[in-house]
């Protein structure tokens, strides 16, 4: 049985879900937030230590302004309402990506990270304004500045995810089989599960099914 330390998720399909209900893409984003809450609870139940959620990519800035604004207002409301509860649940909140938003959101993100920084039960990494290619380039620039050797250990140590074990599992919902610039370095040996369901339809049962499938996989890491 493989232990599960880290699950990463590309939460895709909100927009299509909203449209499929005859409503807006934003309606799908709102519904998708409910799935986030379900999956956090289930991750705690499964005693998994790290959960990384892809919420906004560096490429997502190419979307219409109204959708971008809506996504960030959802995040703002969610965090302001829930960060206390997350803290009480002993969850550590951490942002991966470039924290460069409006003042209010920057402050809320920093506050949330600080408030929960000592928690050890589960670490939630929220990938926000995150792009894997720019993360790797940033790491290499740090290494150069520190005049260190460019090697695997130093690259890993200078990514946003330094000190976090690589994901055991990557799940992408929404019936698309691509990585969309997510954790390209860290996923080198992860087991990848592409899920047909759109994110708002994904539930605890689907999640546990994947976790159980993972446990039985023979992971080789190049060996036999």
Least gap, CB of 142 to ligand IPE (angstroms): 25
Of 151, 129, 155, residue with least CA distance to 63: 129
Stretch binding Mg ion (CB under 5 A), from 5-13, 76-84, 161-169, 211-219: 5-13
Q: Which of 8, 12, 18, 139 binds Mg ion (CB under 5 A)?
A: 12
Q: Which helix (H) or strand (E) holds 171?
A: strand 169-172
Q: Is 178 in the site for ligand IPE (CB under 6 A)?
A: yes
Task: Give which of Mg ion, ligand IPE, none residue 42 binds (C-beta under 5 to 8 Å, depending on kind).
Answer: none
Least gap, CB of 71 to ligand IPE (angstroms): 6
Q: Which of 13, 97, 167, 200 binds ligand IPE (CB under 6 A)?
A: 13
Task: Give which of Mg ion, ligand IPE, none residue 14 binds (C-beta under 5 to 8 Å, depending on kind).
Answer: ligand IPE
Cβ pair 57, 181 in contact under 8 A:
yes
Q: Is 195 in the site for Mg ion (CB under 5 A)?
A: no
121 DSSP assignment: S
Structure-token pair, residue 221: 């890491």
Q: Is 132 in the site for ligand IPE (CB under 6 A)?
A: no
- List the interface residues with ligand IPE, window 138-177 (CB under 6 A): 174, 176
Cα–Cα distance, 175 to 86 (Å, whole number): 30
Say whether 60 is catalytic. Answer: yes
Strands (E), 58-168: 91-96, 122-130
Partners of 128 in beta bridges: 56
Q: Is 49 in the site for ligand IPE (CB under 6 A)?
A: no
Task: Give which of Mg ion, ligand IPE, none residue 109 binds (C-beta under 5 to 8 Å, depending on kind).
Answer: none
The structure tokens 């200078």 sit at: 158
Least gap, CB of 166 to Mg ion (angstroms): 24
Partners of 126 in beta bridges: 53, 95
Structure-token pair, residue 43: 């991750």
Within 8 A by CB and 6+ apart from 110, the residues are 99
Task: Give which of ligand IPE, Mg ion, none residue 197 binds (C-beta under 5 to 8 Å, depending on kind).
Answer: none
């Amino acid at each position: 049985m493989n232990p599960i330390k880290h699950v990463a998720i590309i939460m895709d399909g909100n927009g299509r879900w909203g449209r499929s209900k005859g409503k807006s893409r934003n309606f799908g984003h709102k519904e998708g937030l409910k799935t986030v809450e379900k999956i956090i609870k289930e991750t705690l139940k499964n005693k998994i230590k790290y959960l990384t959620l892809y919420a906004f990519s560096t490429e997502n800035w190419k979307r219409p302004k109204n959708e971008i604004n809506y996504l960030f207002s959802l995040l703002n409301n969610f965090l302001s309402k829930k960060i206390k509860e997350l803290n009480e649940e002993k969850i550590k909140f951490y942002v991966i990506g470039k924290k460069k938003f409006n003042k209010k959101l920057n402050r809320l993100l920093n506050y949330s990270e600080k408030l929960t920084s000592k928690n050890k039960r589960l670490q939630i990494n929220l990938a926000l304004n995150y792009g894997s290619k720019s993360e790797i380039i940033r790491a290499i620039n740090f290494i150069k500045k520190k005049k260190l050797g460019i090697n695997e250990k130093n690259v890993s140590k200078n990514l946003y995810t330094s000190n976090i074990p690589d994901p055991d599992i990557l799940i992408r919902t929404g019936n698309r089989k691509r990585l969309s610039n997510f954790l390209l370095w860290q996923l080198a040996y992860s087991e990848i599960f592409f899920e047909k369901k759109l994110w708002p339809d994904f539930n605890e049962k689907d999640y546990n099914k994947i976790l159980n499938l993972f446990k039985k996989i023979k992971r080789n890491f190049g060996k036999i």
